[in-house]
Structure 1
């Protein structure tokens, strides 16, 4: 989620065919085709907790290209080599080999967070939910100077939403912004 700004329902739905290219040491590519949001068994047609749907804010059949950071590509290659894929070519499987459950990934997320953070950080709201990894990715892209329309396309939402939600993440970049304007307007 952190390297590709994926939503939890996109990670759960990720399959081998979505990984278009994973070259070693270079940027790769994934093309998302669907998501599996958690709605609860009372709210799905199938009676299952998750149901395969189109990508958020996209028409059925629409896809979304997402660049794969070289480190994410390496992690995905190692994961597939170690664990393979499920019968439906799903990349991430639950503990019993079926669909990944919220309970399973939240357990790992919170254990990892506790180990990675100092006690004061672990007691704070910093990275308190997996979705924070998506927000951190989008913020990183913005802070790296990637144009907002490109980020919005990769993250799967509009430029308006991007700027409304993430505009505050560019704290401390005023000096660099003014230098760029100066360079662009200097005679």
Structure 2
């Protein structure tokens, strides 16, 4: 057998990535090799690569501070030339830094050249704007309002309940399976969150699916997070299982056709419920604009209920530093209450 073999129609060998054309091919000796080494590069791809080569600088050019500054300036702009949001810039800079470190590892640069220029990424205000986080009453009405949005809404009521009452991330709730749930007939239950399935696009997964199966955010692959859940969510999940059952793999929440629940589907239901529950004036604001608002509402409720910040951080899957950064206003309000309680105790002690 001579030449390369295209496996897109079947056969054996390494799996295709994301359903795209195979990136490997068999050579004349029936061994897998990079496709670029056994097949001629198509003319359109060659033209694109030639253009990139002509327009690109050499890695060694980054030894000049002016080039580094130009690169950092480019990272701070959008494609239309306007200034990018601070969060966007702060996501891009670490990627650029990692690329520079890899260049050092490959001995293309002597050291990471970022310290050659006096440049700082814009400061990011991570603190949540609590004007648009629903309070306990509104959060409950939104969760219940989801059930009124057709049969799909009824199926997703408990999903949104997990976002609020367990402060689960949407990607964690979509992966929730029956073995992860402790649901007694009465009293408090427990969710053991172990997986996250964020949507990343089929081109970037090994399965060809539009979502990826990962461990919990910023945790080891096999790490879990136990979250006690109140009786209201226990009842909600028990009713959901009794009414809708579970998927073949044990997942509680499914797409219309039975597959993985995607953000567009539950996002559309949320938009409909929001318009039903909110007043016209409220709906015109960012109040409860996204399903993630329920998670923020849940974390805020825990804090305002007097749960210790360390325990809130553990249940929410945050670090203490992140909790204090995002929920600074709530925590500061609790500190004021604590100060008043201490002052009252001191006054009572002085009166004795």
Q: Indicate whether the TM-score tops 0.5.
A: yes
Distance (whole Å) between structure 1 residues aligned to residue 270 and residue 233 of structure 2: 17
Match of 1:49 among 194, 205, 210: 210
Asked if the contact 1:85–1:92 (Cα under 8 Å) also holds between the matched residues in 2, the reply is: yes
Question: Where does residue 34 of structure 1 map in the other structure?
Answer: 195
Query: In the alignment, which residue of structure 1 is the partner of 2:316?
Result: 155
Q: Structure 1 residues 121 and 25 mapped into 2: Cα distance closer, same or farther (>3 Å)? A: farther
1:42 Cα deviation from its structure 2 partner: 1.8
Equivalents in 1 of 2:345, 2:191: separation in Å? 35
Provide the secondary structure at the position in 2 that maps to 1:30.
Answer: strand
Q: Structure 1 residues 34 and 184, CA, compared in 2 at 3 Å: closer, same or farther? A: farther
| TM-score of the aligned structures, taking structure 1 as reference length | 0.93
Q: 1:174 to 1:58 in 2, by over 3 A?
A: closer
Partner of 1:109: 270
CA contact (8 A) 1:55 1:62 kept: yes
Contact 1:12 1:99 in 2 (8 A): yes
Q: Alpha-carbon deviation of 1:75?
A: 0.7
Q: Is the 8 A contact 1:66 1:154 kept in 2?
A: yes
3-state SS in 2 of match to 1:99: coil
Q: TM-score, normalised by structure 2?
A: 0.51
CA–CA distance in 2 between the matches of 1:149 and 1:182?
Answer: 24
Mapping of 1:100-139 within 5 angstroms?
100-139=261-300
Q: Which moved more, 1:21-30 or 1:129-138?
A: 21-30
Quote the residue 2:168 is aligned against: 6
Q: Of 89, 108, 113, which aligns to 2:250? A: 89
From the CA coordinates, give the structure whose radius of gyration is larger: 2
SS in 2 for 1:2: helix
Contact 1:22–1:68 (CA under 8 A) maintained in structure 2: no
SS in 2 for 1:65: strand
Q: 2:329 aligns with which of 144, 161, 168?
A: 168
Give the corresponding residue for 1:17.
Answer: 179
Which one has more relative contact order, counting CA pairs under 8 Å at least 6 apart?
A: 1
How many residues align? The count is 186
